[in-house]
Structure 1
Amino acid sequence: MVDEMNDGGGGFAPPDGLCWASVLCCLLLACAYVGSLYVWRSDLPRDHPAVIKRRFTSVLVVSALSPLFVWTWKEFTGVKPSSSLLALMGIRFEGLIPAIILPLLLTMVLFLGPLIQLAMDCPWSFMDGLRVALDPCFWMLCFSDMRWLRNQVVAPLTEELVFRACMLPMLVPCASPSTAIFTCPLFFGVAHFHHVIELLRFRQGTVSGIFLSAVFQFSYTAVFGAYTAFIFIRTGHLVGPVLCHSFCNYMGFPAVSAAAEHPHHATVLACYLLGVVLFLLFLFPLTDPAYYGLPTPVCTLAPAANSLCVS
């Protein structure tokens, strides 16, 4: 099962049984990630600092070992990429600066409404906020807060590494990049269903309410996962999805109902709409693979030429 590729990302011939092997590896990787959260027995809730610290340990171990899943998949299937394993996983220097700036800028455009709403309601001036952001003590407090560290650093880094950087190189060869974009988030969304266990365990709501919340979370995380998968395939970098994930964790789901009741609701809602329109207009231009080095490494694994992989 030896595969040959051309430089355009459209000459890859998937071997027999590749898709089964890819889906199985992704499933095992998702189970390993979620399972690592439950190797510690505790009667404490998930937001307790002691629980967070223990989960940091197990999740970071699984994340560090996750490239072995990709390497094992590659050796088992006989796939011979033209790029290194690290490059396939989006860890490379070519196009790094645009990969840091442009996807995050695009995501901020999408959140234009919430950002304007936040700015209107913030009691600080711009200079006050800048002084706080440049104060080392502020960042020391952030990094000493286990919940902040989980939501802004560890979760975005480990989830994007496992569910995008490791899974997409295994899924793209057996399907088009477009299909992989919408397949990969299913593992990501299902992985978040484990929160149901804890909500039921600590009786944080009714059973029907908990499951409705889980369905909503699955839908939201699946859509978000498709977006970061899109960014990963278009840019070929891990850093963009990680920064966008961290930013979205900070912003949370847009509070449209609160925006409708805002004293300046007309302006805020107009910014919400403008943000969505600008996001759709700039979605492809700001993720143009030409900024990040053509072809992006993961695109060289595509079984046929795909519009997502070209400028």
Structure 2
Amino acid sequence: MEATGCWVVVAECLTLSVAYVCSLYVWSSPLNRDHPSTIKRRLVSVSVMGVVSPIFTYYCVSEELLAKHSLWDLLGMRWPGLLAASAVPLLLTMFLFLGPLVVKTQSESLAAWTEPSYWLENLTSIYWLRDHVIAPLSEELTFRASLLPLLVQCVSPVKAVFISPMFFGVAHLHHIVGQVQSGVPFKRAALISGFQFSYTTLFGAYSAFLFLRTGHFVAPFIAHAFCNFMGFPDFGEVLSYSEPKRSLTFGLFVAGFVSWCFLLVPLTDPLIYQNTLYWEPCTSRPPLHAR
């Protein structure tokens, strides 16, 4: 694709990102983001974006590409490799969170996670549903399933992994507005949002990698939901442990990260997921963006 065409694609990706954020603020209300009314209104907004985003992709993606692949395939919603995409990326992400998982079991009983009442309580909580279902579902649908098919038309999948998270990270900067409205000083709110931008951008790269390598929407969605469930690692709690528990726990953090690094490529091999759309398992065919 020519340079002019690539700038058009970037503009389309930016438009999609801005539209997602703006949809959250179409409601005029003094209530903060955690108020039930705000959550319900934003649920309506992201539901609309869940319809708009794929349609936007359909009309913006090249006709040549649509002639070769269905919109469902481009969005990563296909049957071949679905079972593997639902389980293997989650296992991979759990390796990354090996240390935090151990820490979490210190404060939460594993037995509680197997109790139906635990999940029933969570599934009836609008806050839990927002963080673990609605947000991952809507964000992955817009920023991965709908945005990446546009982006890979003019850049390689590898470049798309590093470019697309910028749209995702910037889309989270709007949280600074809610923090300032809740009374947080601007400098502190900016610092918090900057930190959030950093780790959401890193996660965005990982999520894009999962989507492009597996060719499945469910892979980044489940990984996203799991990461939200785990939250950011609580290093402060680990530091409060006495020795040798503290050193052993930090050792698990390192072991988990090293294991994740070694397993990242083999466990996302496109052959496992029957994916030949975004990330070719062989070099005999040109990548999607060059076709």
Q: TM-score, normalised by structure 2?
A: 0.92
Distance 2:91 2:11 in 1: 35
Q: 1:291 aligns with which of 252, 261, 272?
A: 272
Q: Flag structure 1 segments of 5+ consecutive residues without an equivalent.
A: 1-13, 305-311
CA positional deviation for 1:130: 5.2
Does the alignment pair 1:233 with 2:212? Answer: yes
Does the alignment pair 1:65 with 2:46? Answer: no
Identify if the C-alpha distance between structure 1 residues 290 and 78 changes in structure 2 by more than 3 Å, giving closer, same or farther.
closer
Distance 2:262 2:201 in 1: 22
Per the alignment, residue 179 of structure 1 pairs with: 159
Per the alignment, residue 221 of structure 1 pairs with: 200
Does the 8 A contact of 2:151 with 2:160 survive in 1? yes
CA positional deviation for 1:139: 3.0
CA positional deviation for 1:267: 1.2
Identify if the C-alpha distance between structure 1 residues 45 and 276 changes in structure 2 by more than 3 Å, giving closer, same or farther.
same
Does the 8 A contact of 1:87 with 1:297 survive in 2? no
CA positional deviation for 1:119: 1.8
Q: Which amino acid aligns with 2:139?
A: E
CA positional deviation for 1:297: 4.7
CA positional deviation for 1:206: 1.9
Q: Which amino acid aligns with 2:96?
A: L
CA positional deviation for 1:24: 1.3
| SS of alignment partner, residue 254 of structure 1 | coil
Does the 8 A contact of 2:270 with 2:279 survive in 1? no
Identify if the C-alpha distance between structure 1 residues 58 and 121 changes in structure 2 by more than 3 Å, giving closer, same or farther.
closer
Does the 8 A contact of 1:21 with 1:73 survive in 2? no
CA positional deviation for 1:16: 6.1
* 1:181-207, Cα deviation, whole Å (9 max, x unpaired): 11111110000011111111221x222
Per the alignment, residue 78 of structure 2 pairs with: 92
- Aligned ranges for residues 83-122 of structure 1 at < 5 Å? 83-122=69-108
- Aligned ranges for residues 134-153 of structure 1 at < 5 Å? 135=116, 137-153=117-133
Does the 8 A contact of 2:213 with 2:278 survive in 1? no
Q: 1:262 aligns with which of 241, 251, 256?
A: 241
Per the alignment, residue 129 of structure 1 pairs with: 112
Distance 2:104 2:61 in 1: 46
- Aligned ranges for residues 148-163 of structure 1 at < 5 Å? 148-163=128-143
Find runs of 4+ consecutive structure 1 residues off by over 6 angstroms.
Answer: none
Does the 8 A contact of 1:163 with 1:188 survive in 2? yes
CA positional deviation for 1:63: 1.4
Distance 2:132 2:67 in 1: 33
Does the 8 A contact of 1:98 with 1:291 survive in 2? yes
Does the 8 A contact of 2:161 with 2:209 survive in 1? yes
CA positional deviation for 1:27: 1.0
CA positional deviation for 1:298: 6.6
* 1:93-146, Cα deviation, whole Å (9 max, x unpaired): 010011001101000000000111122333x3x4x33541xx1x4333222211
Distance 1:236 1:148 in 2: 28
Per the alignment, residue 258 of structure 2 pairs with: 277
Q: Which amino acid aligns with 1:249?
A: N
Per the alignment, residue 74 of structure 1 pairs with: 61
CA positional deviation for 1:295: 1.1
| SS of alignment partner, residue 290 of structure 2 | coil
| SS of alignment partner, residue 173 of structure 1 | coil
Does the 8 A contact of 1:152 with 1:249 survive in 2? yes
Does the 8 A contact of 2:213 with 2:275 survive in 1? no
Per the alignment, residue 284 of structure 2 pairs with: none
Does the alignment pair 1:249 with 2:235? Answer: no
Q: Over aligned residues, Cα RMSD in angstroms?
A: 1.7
Q: Which amino acid aligns with 1:265?
A: R
Distance 1:16 1:72 in 2: 20
Aligned residues: 283
Query: Comparing both chains, which one has the higher relative contact order based on Cα–Cα distances under 8 Å and sequence gaps of 6 or more?
Result: 1
Identity fraction in percent: 42
Does the alignment pair 1:55 with 2:37? Answer: no
